Amino acid sequence: MKKITIFLLLAVFALPSMAQSPINLGLKGGYSNSKLTADIGGEGSVDNYHVGAFVRLNLGRLYLQPEAYFSSKGGTVDFESGASHTIHSFDLKTVDVPILLGVNVIDKGPLKVRANAGPLMSFFTDKELNNEFFDSNDVKDSFFGWQYGVGADFLFLTLDVRMENSSGDLYSGPLLDNDVKSKSFVVSLGIKLL
């Protein structure tokens, strides 16, 4: 009970400063569902997570929001070769840096509803391939992509729902001639600290 009381007091004192601040700084984390697509069929998605921070530069109705967060991505690829049937899983860890341009669609007191989109740069920190056919050295070190979605703010809390698509090929190995791309559905909860 004591922790809840302290949290509520801090929130009440922080609200006036956040309402007048052209810059917000916060922490965020949440759920993501990702898959790798290679146009070969049999692709499966996996549930993952992400955690990081954001800065929002409020420019009237518009805002610019750079973010940096640690993310887990991946998927499964199902191969059939004659009588052989194998499922290969990819567990990829990245540091993601999206830079989003957004617009406040609804701005009613403590409630804001937003739409945003922008480029994303992802840097791989761990490339775990749970199979003997693919080589983790053939997974590129980084990729460029896009994020787009909607969000809502209520007082000091944020909620974002986004789609993420990579623009280029993630895998350059000899076994896949098709482009391997990453697609993710991302849900984030955040708290504004400033």
- pTM comes to 0.76
Per residue in 139-173, is it b (16+ CB within 10 Å) or e — as a string?
A: beeebebebebebebebbebbbebebebeeebbee
Kindly list the structural domains of the chain, giving each domain's residue range(s) and its CATH number in brackets, ordered by start.
22-192 (2.40.160.20)
Give residue 91's pLDDT: 72
Q: What is the pLDDT of residues 71-126, one digit of tens each?
A: 987 776 666 656 655 566 677 788 999 999 999 999 998 999 999 999 999 888 87
86, amino acid identity:
T
Q: What is the pLDDT of residues 16-63, one digit of tens each?
A: 444 557 999 999 999 999 877 666 656 677 788 999 999 999 999 999
142/162 Cα distance (integer angstroms): 20
The band of 134, judged by pLDDT with boundaries at 50, 70 and 90, is low
Q: What digits encode the pLDDT tens for the residues 136-173?
A: 556 666 788 999 999 999 999 999 999 998 776 656 65
Confidence (pLDDT) at 18:
45
The per-residue DSSP string of 57-86 comes to EEETTEEEEEEEEEEEEEEEEEEEETTEEE
